[in-house]
Amino acid sequence: MVEAALSAGVVGRAIEKRLLEVAIHDLRDFTTDRHRSVDDVPYGGGPGMVMKPEPIFRALDAIAARHDAPVTVLLMSPQGTRFTQRDAERLGSLPHVAMLCGRYEGVDERVRSRVDEEVSIGDYVLSGGELPALVVLDAIARRVPGVVGDDQSVAEDSFSRGLLDFPHYTRPAAVGDLRVPDVLLSGNHQEIRRWRKQESLGRTLERRPDLLESAALDDEERELLDRIRNGRL
């Protein structure tokens, strides 16, 4: 699953271009028993299986030995703190990040002694940490200069600005009676910029008012938000 994802799309091309190096480690390669077991029954009983600590410790030791700079270890888990754009920015500035992906009911609690951060991508239960790790990798990778074609679009991305995105349109100007807003066809770039700010703010207020608490708004944006809130826009 991870190999397939890494060979496709924006991240795949970044790895080909060596803008980014990603290694996959199979925990079974760090087992010592005949059956290459990575899981065992839970102490205290109950359903499901638990990931054994030793293969994980050996894998983390092997990863650390590959690098001179520190390796920050993330554990993908619904018990973690919710992953945000800020985390993508922060983790992207670290020399090395290892993402530990559990299956079954999760990892033996003692593994957490080797974990720097526990990361969740949202409040739902998946069957493994691989998809969350790929989500985190993608968010980090697209911020590496050269990975996404247009650096400008990365800088202006929705959450980098702390607001939801404005509506986008492309040709044709009309599909039946569905028309592109006149302002976007006007050629008045000052007006277009203002309209987009207004739409971003309006959508954020409507759908994610929580984001407005921490968004860094400029003077024009504060004025627009005020007018939207007071029904003057």
Rule CB under 6 A: is residue 76 a binding residue for ligand 4HQ?
yes
Contacts 24+ apart (CB under 8 A), 56-61: 56/27, 56/30, 56/100, 56/107, 56/108, 56/111, 56/114, 57/111, 57/114, 58/30, 59/25, 59/27, 59/29, 59/30, 60/98, 60/100, 60/114
Total residues at the site for ligand 4HQ (CB under 6 A)? Answer: 15
Quick note: the x/- pattern for ligand 4HQ over 167-206, rule CB under 6 A, is ----------------------------------------
How far CA 148 is from CA of 11, 50, 162, in Å, comes to: 9, 39, 20
Q: What's the rounded Cα separation, in Å, for the pair 169 and 171?
A: 7
**Please, what is the minimum distance in Å from the beta carbon of residue 56 to ligand 4HQ?**
12
Buried b / exposed e across 99-136, counting CB within 10 Å, b at 16+? bbbbbeebbbeebeebbeebbbbeeeeeeebbbbbbbb
**Please, what is the minimum distance in Å from the beta carbon of residue 124 to ligand 4HQ?**
6
Non-local CB neighbours of 113 within 8 Å, separated by 6+ positions:
none
Q: What's the rounded Cα separation, in Å, for the pair 222 and 163?
A: 13
Stretch that binds ligand 4HQ, among 72-80, 146-154, 184-192, 219-227 (CB under 6 A): 72-80
Q: Give, as ranges, the residues between 96 and 125 that touch ligand 4HQ (CB under 6 A).
A: 102-103, 106, 120-122, 124-125
Rule CB under 6 A: is residue 137 a binding residue for ligand 4HQ?
no
**Please, what is the minimum distance in Å from the beta carbon of residue 145 to ligand 4HQ?**
27
Rule CB under 6 A: is residue 55 a binding residue for ligand 4HQ?
no
**Please, what is the minimum distance in Å from the beta carbon of residue 134 to ligand 4HQ?**
11
**Please, what is the minimum distance in Å from the beta carbon of residue 167 to ligand 4HQ?**
30
Q: Which is nearer to ligand 4HQ, 126 or 155 (CB)?
A: 126
Rule CB under 6 A: is residue 42 a binding residue for ligand 4HQ?
no
Rule CB under 6 A: is residue 132 a binding residue for ligand 4HQ?
yes
- Most distant pair of Cα atoms in the chain: their distance: 72
Q: Which is nearer to ligand 4HQ, 10 or 126 (CB)?
A: 126
Structure tokens at 187: 């050629």
Give the residue numbers marked as catalytic: 78, 105, 142, 157
